[in-house]
Structure 1
Amino acid sequence: MFQTAGILIGDVVLAVFDSTGRYSSLFLFGNDYFLGSQSLCMELGRNVTSPEPPFDDSKRVGGPWRGPPSFLRWRANPPPFDLSFHIIKLRVALPPQRFQGNHKVSLCDLKTEMVFAGGVTPSNGLLPDPHLCFHAGWQPREVSWGLCLPEGCSQEDSAIMARLMAERRKERGVAPTSAAVEVISSKRVPGKYSLWADPTFHVMLVASCIVLILTVLGTALDVIGSLGEGSERRVGFLSAQGAEEAAEEGSGGRKVHAPLADERKRCGCTGQRTLFESKLASVLHCFSLSRNARKILRGSRVVMPDGPGGEAGQKEDACRQGRQPPLACLHGLRFFSLVWVILGHTCYFCFLYSDNKHYRGAVERDFLFHTVGNGPYAVDTFFFISGLLVSFLYFRSAAAAAREVATITPTMTITSVTLPFSKRAKQFLYLIAYRVVRLTPPYLFVIGLVELTMKSFRSESVFEPPTDDDFNCPNYWWRNAFYVNTLYPVKEMCMMWSWYISDDTQFFMIGLFLVMFASSHFKWAAFTAGSILLTSWLTTAFIALDYDYMPRITEPLALFDELYDKPWTRIGPHIIGLVAGWTLHTTDCKLNLRKHYLVFGWLLSTMLCLALVYGLYSQISDAMVSASYAALSHTAWAVALLWLVIACAAGKAGWINLVLSCKILAPLSRLTYCAYLVHPVIIRATVAHTDSPLHISRDTFAFLFIGHVISSYFLAFILSVTLETPIISLLKMFLFPNRGVLV
């Protein structure tokens, strides 16, 4: 009996040791994770008996699913105590002189110096890449070490054990060239965090329930109204309600006010209803899933104001000319830019949690990798589009309104139309309020989601979160809500990727002021815009010189606090967008140039884009050239886009315009904002609940990227159809009931 017990205890010890991390390989290739297996440790600690299989499944296709006999024996005879998993963070500093040249290195020593758990001793040999080893040896490395311990061990106990083992190693005496090992921290996985005890979760739960109730009521009311109209005409798969929306589009963008009976019918109201009941039905209709899904999935439309210069007016003019609406190409620019952003974030995040981090160095030597590394230019595309829409829509809608009241003649320009200061101030505040109220609800919801997921990440994952959102979001969320978070240090930023939303909102305010100022004082507004652009260039160049900034494809986010996210260094593309919008308005989206000028424009735009994306393949070492690159590169990208958009709007872009204006991209374009908000949450979820690092290859990265894009847009659709689109409908109903909105 004792012999049998000894065998069982030995099996338990082997099983626990098997789930504990130890040095295996790839340390010199960037492997900082010696984690073992948390899932195996937890499985061994479960008091579950597994009966012997009634049949031999060892020959089953794919191998036996119940596990080998040894694993079955461990499960059938669990240890006499519960188990817990701990992550020890170590700092390992390897002497650089051991990695210079082609010297032989004892990898056996490396094993004993890095991890105390023992393991198979590798043989000595030449280093495969002395450059990588030299690079790895100079800087201390933080290594995560997984330990499977009895349940009674706290995280303080595991830290003490690790420190005692480090001290014992010193007492044994090691060579003077040995690595220095320091215990940084210890944590138990999972930790003590409880989602149900979190006040943020309570707020999120209440808000979600309210939205869910409104969605159910709105959808039910919409369905009931549609069933009552079953005998009436339908347009395609749309109900009569959809036919009315389509009729409104075909009326030049103007609201067609139906009689009260028709209004009641549209709202799904029957019998004698009060005005309050009709308005309540309209509010609930804003949350209808079917209606909101139609708004997102309907054909190619660009958000435009009502009137001849609006969306319907563009469609009508475009149909007469047999081409797409002028700004339909923006759908493609939005979609492909966001895909570019997701591509870059996927690359950098996955390498952060991989066991072959230095494989990135090999990838970066690939010429085509610069397509990934220069993803920040995609954000400049968003800034450019924002400025273009602010300028074009304001001038076009103001001109349309002026024509309707016959205050100007066809020979007069928009700059001759002036409004009293009080009306312009009210219009400015209304438009700012519309934008802020439209963006903020889904923004705050995702902030809460990020806070909860990062708290869970830190508590339940064997990895450390990439940022401190679990600490920053509860303390500094108000900076995001007021869109000023880029004015504070990045170490205090909640949702690091939200810097774009803050900058874009600030640019919207500046751009709206400039175009409203230009309607009465065009030259002074142009001078102000040029001064802002010049000041931005000089400021960026001065900062780059002061910090000895050298643009590198390996460090796309260098000087994040000083250069990358600050509005005074990134406003250039928005100013160019304002110029593009004004140009499109004054030329009525026409481009009368000879063929050789068109060819020259396309060549210049293409060469500019290629130079910006692939120009860093040969590194810049001169300080003045680096400062000039930092100051002008973002604006130069917007200049290249200026030609692209003008050519597409004028019908001079051929197949490029056909691709960018493809109708299938329109729904994806409308989901851009929500997809931008949620895609980092999807990317982080890739590793949050795994117990081993990724191993990156080109194929693995491609599949991860495709999965991230699809998942991000799926979650964005849910967020948009339940929150963003209803908010937009409510704003148009109450804030701008009888006219279009500049968004």
Structure 2
Amino acid sequence: MRQTSGVIYNLNDTEYDRLPPLFKLDDYYPCLRGPGDQYCYVDAKLVTNGSRELLHVIQEYSAANNFTHYDHNLIHWGICVTKTCRQYLGNHTVHEALEACINSSLQQTHQLQARLVEEKVYCTAFEETDNIDTGDIVVAVILITILTLNVLGTLYDVCCVSKSVGGRFLLCFSAKRNWRRLFAPSGEGSEPRLSRLKLFNGINIFILQTYYDPIFHIFYNGNLIVQTFFVLSGCLLAFNLLLGEEKTRLTWPKFPRYVMLRWMRLTPPYAAVLAVIATWMKRFGDGPMWKPVVGVETEACRRDWFYHLLYLNDYVDHSQCMAHTWYLAVDMKLTILGLLVFCLVKSWRARKIAIGVAFVAGVVAPAVCTYLQNLNAIHIVSPEVARNYFVEDPTFNNLYKRTHTNIVCYAMGLALGMWIYKRMQTDVDINKYKKYRPVYWATVPIGVFLCALGGIFYIDGIQVPMLARVLYTPGVKLLFGLLALVLIPGTIFKLDTVYRGFLEWQGWAVLGRVSYCAYIVHVAVIRVTTANHATLLHTNFLQILLTYFAHLITSFVIALPCWMMIEAPFNQLVKLCFYPAPKDEPQEDTLKTIPREVTLKNIPRDIDTKDVKPVFMVNNKEKDFDGTVVLKL
């Protein structure tokens, strides 16, 4: 044991074995085999009853560095009440019997006692069932209706297609068409400039794989990783609004329409998963930790669901309901901010000033919050914070998930979208910028370094001064955003093929389309798989790695039907309602008959290739040119 100034940072194996077991589970299923059987999972606070020296060790070790240590003052035990605590049930309530039973065990082995945390006692009785209520029925009816629409839409697409309003409505739910959309090339559409942004699919998938796993949170600063999403979101909003402004002027009356479109884009799959969690998910499994892990989220979602549908949940603290979806609430409000800039401010210069003001506010806000509320510089995923799914951590609640503390990178994204649009208006001579390729190549290594730099906040015994925290909090976001501002345009304008080849791989387009649904269900998958364990697991790095990939794959497997039956159909419905196709526009089936390429023969050798539209491919090398040209349509 190493002890400095009365603070215990580390315990050797012998000393650590003296502590009461932090987690302990009696056999669950053998406990619930007959009427009257009961199993309880409890939290209990240790108190002294003779061994003051051991309790002192526990308190000092737990307090030495709560960033890397569990709180061993609080034990979490699963107890078979009717077997382990049978002798205490006579004249006592269940809670009194549990406390007496725990104290008897602790007294014999550690000379300690404990007091139950009353609100953290979760009991399960033999053949306990949950009654189906009105909310369960309503959600089931809605989901069955959506499934029925998908079946009818697919049959309608296969058997009989008409141009009626009802027919086009049903075709939105056609699995055949949505499957084809899933595998369509990235950037396919009427606006060719959007195809230049297909690298965003690769960035989204890579971030999704690293963002919500504890492995990467321990070594990296997760707050930095999510800032990339804000840069991408702001860039896409500005770029798309400027493209739309070429056809119609952005005006204030259009602002509510754009907000509604964004709400309708995000909400259908989000609301569906939220509804399932609030109603039926509590029936998806069983186990000693089922109620404290899954049950608490169900109760929280039944209480707080309207905050989520209004995208206000980033300002709701201590709620276990889909805590990871704070990003959606922040993104919605930042989208409204971006729309205000472009709809209210008309001139290019005034928009740059407005974005500059937002940028300054985004730099100042997290620094002020860190100082006034004495917060950590980064969101530290300590064992206790992870055990509670982050929601009890002050830094997570007041700095990490708030809209006003995440403005800076979104403002940088808006500026980047404007810059990319402006550059695409002119012919960019990329050769002039190739001398800066080392800077472009350095963006990823520097980004990894900035993420790893957060590890200094996990070191035992370090008390980071307030001034350092105030400067680090906005500064590291700013630096990470600047790296994105180099990497993204460098890839779009084909400065190099090293990163571009990876990020623009066509496979990312398919995964990117279902990544939103995977993001929504990911934490629910972790909760359900964790809560279904009936015994304690002794793990290692390999086991953690396998669990991570199992969660990732399972999330995408669940996300596929979610996208096919909910997200894609409702996106098509939005397009049908808000973007009706012109009467003279060819229908999808008609487009199938248009050839993708045309072969021309007997073309003269000295043809001016710059004037050929669309760009052509020559079948043979120039020295073997036989006059054959293939036009790619």
Same fold per superposition (TM over 0.5): yes
2:482 aligns with one of 639, 643, 660: 639
Corresponding residue of 1:564:
400
For residues 347 and 175 of structure 2, the distance between their equivalents in structure 1, rounded to whole angstroms, comes to: 45
> Using a 3 Å threshold, how does the CA distance of structure 1 residues 554 and 701 change in structure 2: closer, same or farther?
same
Amino acid paired to 1:377: L
Is contact 1:193-1:456 (8 Å) kept? no
Paired letter, 1:181: A
Q: 1:278-303 CA deviation, whole Å, 9 max, x = no partner?
A: 2111111111111111111222237x
Question: Is the partner of 1:90 in helix, strand or coil?
Answer: strand
Amino acid at match of 2:370: A
Q: Deviations over 1:191-242 (max 9, x none)?
A: 88744523221111000111111111111111224xxxxxxxxxxxxxxxxx
2:142 corresponds to: 207
Aligned-partner Cα distance in 2 for 1:429–1:712: 34
- Are residues 1:288 and 2:131 paired? no
What amino acid is aligned across from residue 525 of structure 1 in structure 2?
R
Where does residue 444 of structure 1 map in the other structure? 271
Matched, 1:542 2:365: no
Q: Which amino acid aligns with 2:233?
A: S
The reply on whether 1:328 has 2:261 as its aligned counterpart is: no
- State the secondary structure of the residue aligned to 1:149: helix
Give the root-mean-square deviation of aligned CA atoms. Answer: 3.7
Residue 31 of structure 2 corresponds to: 41
Separation in 1, partners of 2:135, 2:423: 51
On the 8 A contact 1:605/1:644 being kept in 2, the answer is yes
1:734 aligned onto 2:613: no
Residue deviations 1:630-677, cap 9 Å, x none? 122223222211211101110113121111110111011011211111
What is the CA distance between 1:715 and its match in structure 2?
0.8
What CA distance in whole angstroms lies between the structure 2 residues aligned with 1:733 and 1:600?
Answer: 46
* One-letter amino acid of the counterpart of residue 638, structure 1: G
Residue 724 of structure 1 pairs with residue 567 of structure 2? yes
Uncovered stretches (5+) of structure 1, i.e. residues with no partner: 1-24, 47-80, 106-127, 226-267, 270-274, 316-324, 348-368, 403-418
Report 1:58-97 matches (<5 A): 83-93=37-47, 97=53
Where do 1:91-106 residues align within 5 Å?
A: 91-93=45-47, 97-98=53-54
Q: 2:99·2:114 contact (CA, 8 Å) conserved in 1?
A: no
Task: Report Cα offsets for 1:217-276 as digits up to 9, x if no partner.
Answer: 111111224xxxxxxxxxxxxxxxxxxxxxxxxxxxxxxxxxxxxxxxxxx24xxxxx7x
Question: Which residue identity is paired with 1:314?
Answer: R
* Partner Cα separation in structure 2 for residue 130 and residue 510 of structure 1: 42
505, 508, 518: which one aligns with 2:332:
505
Hey, what does 1:687 align to over in structure 2? Answer: 530
Equivalence map 1:254-333=2 (5 Å): 268-269=161-162, 278-301=164-187, 306=190, 310=191, 313-314=192-193, 325-333=195-203
Give a deviation string over 1:432-491, Cα, whole Å, max 9, x none.
111112221211111112223664589854352278432322222111111112233x11
Q: Which residue of 423, 430, 433 maps to 2:257?
A: 430
Equivalence for 2:352: 526
Structure 2 residue matching 1:618: 3-state secondary structure: helix
Deviation at 1:689, TM superposition (A): 1.9
Does residue 397 of the first structure (1) align with residue 244 of the second (2)?
yes
Which residue does the alignment assign to 1:384?
231
Q: Per-residue deviation at 1:138? A: 7.8
Counterpart check, 1:159 vs 2:159? no
Distance 1:480 1:467 in 2: 18
Aligned to 1:479: 307
Question: 1:160/1:493 Cα in 2 relative to 1: closer, same or farther (>3 Å)?
Answer: closer
**Cα–Cα, structure 1 residues 383 and 615, in superposed 2: closer, same or farther, change >3 Å?**
same
Worse-matched range after superposition: 694-703 or 675-684: 694-703
Aligned-pair CA distance for 1:379: 1.9
- 1:491 corresponding residue in structure 2: 318
Is the Cα–Cα contact under 8 Å of residues 485 and 493 in structure 1 kept in the other structure?
no
Q: Whole-Å Cα distance in 2 between the matches of residues 146 and 339 of structure 1?
A: 36
Q: Counterpart in 2 of 1:149?
A: 82
Deviation at 1:39, TM superposition (A): 1.9
Query: 2: CA distance between counterparts of 1:31 and 1:623?
Result: 36
Question: Normalized against structure 2, the TM-score is what?
Answer: 0.76
SS for the counterpart of 2:145 is: helix
Aligned to 1:343: 213
Identity percentage of aligned residues: 19
Q: What are the Cα deviations for residues 147-176 of structure 1, in whole angstroms up to 9, with x where unaligned?
A: 152799799843232344467789xx999x
Q: CA deviation at 1:314?
A: 3.3
Q: 2:553 aligns with which of 710, 721, 736?
A: 710
Distance 2:335 2:245 in 1: 17
SS of 1:388 mapped into structure 2? helix
Residue 547 of structure 1, CA deviation: 3.0
Q: Mind listing any 5+ residue stretches in structure 2 that lack a counterpart?
A: 1-14, 586-633
Q: How many residues align?
A: 541
- Call closer, same or farther: CA 1:86–1:540 in 2, change over 3 Å: closer
| Alpha carbons of structure 1 residues 690 and 523: separation in structure 2 relative to 1, 3 Å | same
How far has the Cα of 1:607 moved from its partner?
5.3
**What secondary structure does 1:86 align onto?**
strand
Greater alpha carbon shift after TM alignment, 657-666 vs 446-455: 446-455
Aligned pair partner of 1:573 in 400, 409, 421: 409
Q: Which residue of 1 aligns with 2:589?
A: none
Does the CA contact (< 8 Å) of 1:215 and 1:287 recur in 2? yes
Matched-pair contact (CA < 8 Å) for 1:38–1:85: yes
For residues 439 and 732 of structure 1, what CA distance do their matches in structure 2 show? 14
Provide the C-alpha distance between the structure 1 equivalents of 2:454 and 2:491, rounded to a whole number of angstroms.
29
Q: CA deviation at 1:372?
A: 4.8
Q: Residues of 1 paired with 2:575 and 2:200: CA distance?
A: 23
TM-score (norm 1): 0.66
Judged with a 3 Å threshold, the aligned counterparts in structure 2 of structure 1 residues 646 and 169 are, in CA distance, closer, same or farther, namely closer
Q: Distance in 1 between matches of 2:145 and 2:241?
A: 35
